[in-house]
Amino acid sequence: MFTVSVLAAPDRADLTAALVDALRSRWDAGHTIWLDDRIAAEFPVEAPPADFWDAWESLQAQGFDLAIQPTRGRRKAVLLADMDSTMIQQECIDELADFAGVGERVAAITAAAMNGELNFHESLIARVGLLAGLPESVIGEVLDSRITLAPGGRTLVASMRAQGAHSALVSGGFTVFTGPVSTALGFDEHRANTLLAEEGVLTGHVSLPVLGREAKVEALEQITAARGLTPADALAVGDGANDLGMLQLAGMGVALHAKPVVAAQVDLRINHGDLTALLYLQGYAAEEFVR
């Protein structure tokens, strides 16, 4: 048995029974369950419809997200989340680079790396090198004035933790950011790279080995194994090329507002909703949310 999820962006809340019923009739599906009025509904089907992606394209054009997945085991016991442009709305290294006066150069490298056009390890080394000489105090300024949490993040983490799930923030960014962001969102742990500094000034180097795509996969395997689980028991969410490994290995891998090269390789895609969509995908109803 499979479950089809139909989702509207919470700020629009314009999902109608007529739209959902039209899909149900088209696919001879079971009874509709409304998880949140005008935002999230789901219904069962015996097998993935042959024209699912045609319907997906149509709903995308209307501003709705559509997903299908096996019904069994949808609620996950582990959450692994990327940070930059996933749990926060910025790329931290780009914000640091802006302070250093090399914002455009670094942002271009970041974009290429997230699109899978550059090796992540080499791109990170190159970007960090451009930060040499920047005062460490700038990190606090960036956190205070430029970093904003992505909508729905606190609710996602709190709701899953309330059901006993373990949550980890795994980033190719830096611990000076994942620490505060992890605390603000309520994660159980965080993993990231370490920026090196001497006498209060960034050296332009990062501690090795660099945490990138492979390290995120290792984190998924280690965190689940430590709890007697497997990657199938985990939900992973991210947007960039260095997230692909964990998205493809996790039992539920969600590409959230992802780069095209990433979205093309992940079947669960959220392009319109916020992070609460990951709760609806697991079958959580709005009254189960911890806000």
Burial 183-193 (b: 16+ CB within 10 A, else e): ebbbbeebbbb
Q: Whole-angstrom Cα distance, residue 53 to residue 166?
A: 32
Q: Name the token pair of 166.
A: 């373990």
Cβ neighbors of 239 (< 8 A, separation 6 or more) are 82, 85, 86, 114, 255, 256, 257, 258, 259, 262
Catalytic residue among 65, 84, 239, 274: 84
Q: Whole-angstrom Cα distance, residue 172 to residue 219?
A: 12
Catalytic residue among 65, 82, 233, 274: 82
Q: What angle do CA 173, 175, 179 make, to 5 degrees?
A: 120
Q: What is the dihedral of CA 179, 184, 189, 194, to 10 degrees?
A: -10
82 among known catalytic residues: yes
Active-site residue numbers?
82, 84
